[in-house]
Chain A
């Protein structure tokens, strides 16, 4: 069926020609090719070690610095809770302008109540205290670096905190087989922006130490846009009809760790919470 092959070839050639025309015309795609970026296989080269510099892990919303996350009533003003008192200034919360676009979170009434309960019971509820996996997008703005591995047909993110990892599929494997802490990530390029849709979450991770939470209906759309060789604009749109009345977005820059010998370390904190989580089960608990 030779004519079919010829037909196929000409169709393919036509499509390729059209694709080339579209790709080379920013006004058609709405995407411009940012000049001056390091590139790999024609796409911005996101390989490397990245980290945020902000107070989002304390609270993604704007907040004033305060003495501690866990407080109790005092004779004049609230004072740090007994459990964290010994930390002094080390346990104090740095203020931040917040990373949420417009600052407000569109909580459903019940979900807002839960957030407030979470905040009041931070010490026993925050999954970070137990060294649980951070979820997405919290993994991004934990105060630890993470490394992007962008290979041929592969995209993988390894986080220093808790050894969390994400294999970002470039071919959609279909709905996630199971719920997980870090979700299932599927990525694609939109021009020079790498867009990752993350689904298949459980409802266990938080957005920050302020008790902001979600259900297993969470869907996160991340956009990684390199603005120059050492900066990425990171945006994450949160959709969760179980928690929020409408989607909302957070955004922040990612900074390349440029110091000599910069490398991903290991913060395998499971070992560090042994006494906290299992100390009471010792033959003779430490007094």
Chain B
């Protein structure tokens, strides 16, 4: 599902214009990006949480040349799936998922 397809479904389900649905999806994703960019975390019950994980610097190797390269420390966005979401995805064959 792409953003455009999601906007169509959202517009249809709650009876708004597709453009407004797309705006809402953008506000949703931008809110999460901005929260993590300022070091905050985002917790959405039943869905999951987004937080920043720190990756330490390391000595890597160029897989092609075998040359050593320094990989600096960096931050990466991380999503931890919430219990409800995890169970919906894992137990879909047991009749637990909604259509």
Bound together: no
